[in-house]
């Protein structure tokens, strides 16, 4: 949780990053935000602070847009909603549903801000579902010159705007594509052996998550999030057993923190996330890393991880495998290729986890694994340059919008200075 209420920046949610910014500002109007940007030599936005690295940090001024006037504007004819950037998903998805609309997908938790999530390429799951930022059709931001401007889908450079690592400006509002609201059911199955059925399982529902503790080859839990019009799997589906009650994917954690399971129908925004807004998501005492490999390489990548599972398991809460549809956003983890996310919720011991993260990266490198921008990773900048073919385009866009580097920080400089 971001601990500062007024002017001390505090830490990120996980507590592994203490922000180095000189102050944290919470402007209550766009005009005040513009003044701040004009006066500051270095400024950076902070969302809800759920990233696990220094991506949000700056040595200058940190700014939260959460106190800007709330915006929630549905344009039914255009099929869009415009929301203020600092809102957490859980703060507007209920209203969107009540109006008869839905987003195409959500991440595992409704606690994250919409701008923060989009900026890092946050994703949910589903063979047909792009990352959350693929819904973005407009980005309203305060640029380095202090001017408020909107970049729209179709504008030159737009593919670099929705996932921009916070370096294009301070986003004040996002326009998102919506679709008619839909109902879903979530069921948990246990005991999927081996990796041979992974492709079938990932395609078995609108959104699928596979969980493993790496104590053996295969998966301890499979969470299926189906639209109510999808056919549920049979009871002994692929050798699995339906869970006999609610489950949390972290061993020993309270399933009351998770969204309803057991096939109970409910709205999309109460089934797509794993966690409920009013409860602590995940373990709460953790670090995270994630790598997106091409979907066609997923099973081989899982087998490579299985070979080092004795290294992974002792520092792991749980691993999750999800599917992501290809997109054309320059810094997206699924840019140009359908992907599978291989995620690790680690224990909160940085010293014990770091060497294992490096071993995971070495094992996955042969599969062109792209790291999640908002999680713990050590991938070398030259390698990152190979992994994202449009990195140079993104760098050019950022330079043209922000020649003095007002919005840059060491992490952005490390990966986007080519
Ligand atoms: C428990 C937990 C579960 C998670 N589950 C998932 C998941 O299911 N899928 C997934 O992909 N990731 C997941 N993540 C990672 C998370 O989605 C990302 O780290 C995301 O960026 C967090 O959003 P935030 O609002 O906290 O952003 P922050 O961490 O606050 O900021 C992230 C980036 O966004 C930028 N930013 C924030 N607001 C603005 C703005 N207004 N204008 C410009 N830039 C801005 C910041 O400058 C920074 O670069 C999870 C994290 C946690 C802690």
Q: What are phi and psi of 330, to 5 degrees?
A: -55, -40
Residue in 1, 60, 122 to alter for ligand 1 test, most ligand atoms within 8 A of Cβ: 122
For residue 97, the CA-to-ligand 1 centroid distance in Å is 23
Q: How much is the pLDDT for 4? A: 35
* Range 174-180 average pLDDT: 98
**Per-residue pLDDT at 406:** 97
Residue 2 banded pLDDT, cuts 50, 70, 90: very low
Has residue 1 got a pLDDT over 70? Answer: no
In this prediction, residue 7 carries a pLDDT of: 62
For the ranges 3-12, 53-62, 357-366, the lowest mean pLDDT is seen at: 3-12
Average pLDDT, the chain: 96
pTM, two decimal places: 0.97
Kindly give the distance from the C-alpha atom of residue 4 to the centroid of ligand 1, in angstroms, as a whole number.
Answer: 17
Using alpha carbons, list the distances in angstroms from residue 98 to 74, 102, 370: 12, 9, 37
Cα 406 to chain centroid distance, Å, stands at: 25
Lowest mean pLDDT: which of 62-66, 194-198, 214-218?
Answer: 214-218
Nearest residue CA, atom 12 of ligand 1? 122
Q: State residue 183 phi and psi, 5-degree precision.
A: -100, 155
CB atoms within 10 A of CB 382: 9
- Whether the per-residue pLDDT at 378 is higher than 60: the answer is yes
Which domains are assigned to the chain?
Answer: 72-180+390-404 (3.30.465.10), 183-379 (3.30.70.2520)
Quick one: tokens of 179? Answer: 């679709």
Quote the pLDDT of residue 279.
85
Res. 106 pLDDT band, cuts 50 70 90: very high
Q: Which residues line ligand 1 (CB under 6 A)?
A: 13, 44-51, 55-56, 65, 85, 107-109, 112-113, 115-117, 119-120, 122-123, 165-166, 170-171, 281-282, 288, 372, 374
pLDDT at 6 over 50: no
What pLDDT score does 418 carry? 54
pLDDT at 284 over 70: yes
């Amino acid at each position: 949780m971001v601990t500062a209420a007024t002017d001390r920046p505090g830490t990120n949610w996980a507590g592994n990053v203490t922000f180095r910014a000189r102050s944290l500002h919470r402007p209550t109007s766009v005009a005040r935000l513009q003044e701040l940007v004009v006066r500051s030599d270095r400024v950076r936005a902070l969302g809800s602070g759920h990233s696990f690295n220094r991506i949000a940090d700056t040595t200058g001024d940190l700014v939260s847009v959460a106190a800007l006037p709330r915006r929630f504007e549905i344009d039914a004819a255009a099929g869009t909603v415009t929301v203020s950037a600092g809102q957490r998903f859980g703060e507007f998805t209920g209203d969107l549903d009540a109006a008869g609309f839905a987003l195409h997908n959500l991440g595992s938790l409704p606690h994250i801000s919409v701008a923060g999530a989009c900026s890092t390429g946050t994703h949910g799951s589903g063979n047909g579902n792009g990352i959350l930022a693929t819904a973005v059709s407009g980005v309203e931001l305060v640029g380095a010159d202090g001017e408020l401007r909107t970049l729209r889908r179709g504008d030159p450079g737009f593919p670099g705007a929705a996932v921009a690592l916070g370096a294009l400006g301070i986003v004040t509002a996002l326009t998102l594509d919506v679709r008619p609201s839909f109902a879903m059911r979530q069921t948990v199955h246990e005991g999927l052996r081996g990796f041979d059925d992974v492709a079938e399982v990932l395609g078995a529902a609108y959104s699928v998550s596979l969980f493993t503790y790496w104590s053996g080859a295969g998966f301890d839990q499979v969470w299926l999030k189906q639209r109510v019009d999808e056919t549920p799997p049979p009871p002994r589906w692929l050798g699995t057993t339906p869970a006999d009650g609610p489950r949390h994917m972290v061993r020993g954690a309270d399933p009351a923190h998770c969204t309803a399971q057991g096939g109970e129908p409910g709205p999309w925004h109460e089934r797509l996330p794993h966690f409920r807004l009013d409860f602590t998501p995940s373990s709460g005492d953790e670090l995270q890393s994630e790598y997106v490999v091409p979907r066609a390489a997923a099973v081989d990548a899982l087998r490579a991880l299985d070979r080092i599972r004795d290294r992974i398991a002792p520092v792991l809460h749980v691993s999750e495998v999800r599917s992501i549809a290809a997109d054309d956003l320059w810094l997206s983890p699924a840019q140009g290729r359908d992907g599978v996310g291989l995620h690790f919720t680690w224990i909160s011991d940085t010293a014990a986890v770091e060497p294992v993260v490096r071993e995971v990266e070495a094992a996955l490198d042969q599969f062109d694994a792209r790291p999640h921008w908002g999680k713990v990773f050590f991938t070398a900048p030259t390698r990152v340059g190979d992994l994202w073919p449009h990195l140079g385009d993104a760098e050019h866009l950022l330079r043209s919008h922000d020649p003095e580097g007002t919005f840059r920080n060491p992490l952005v400089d490390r990966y986007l200075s080519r």
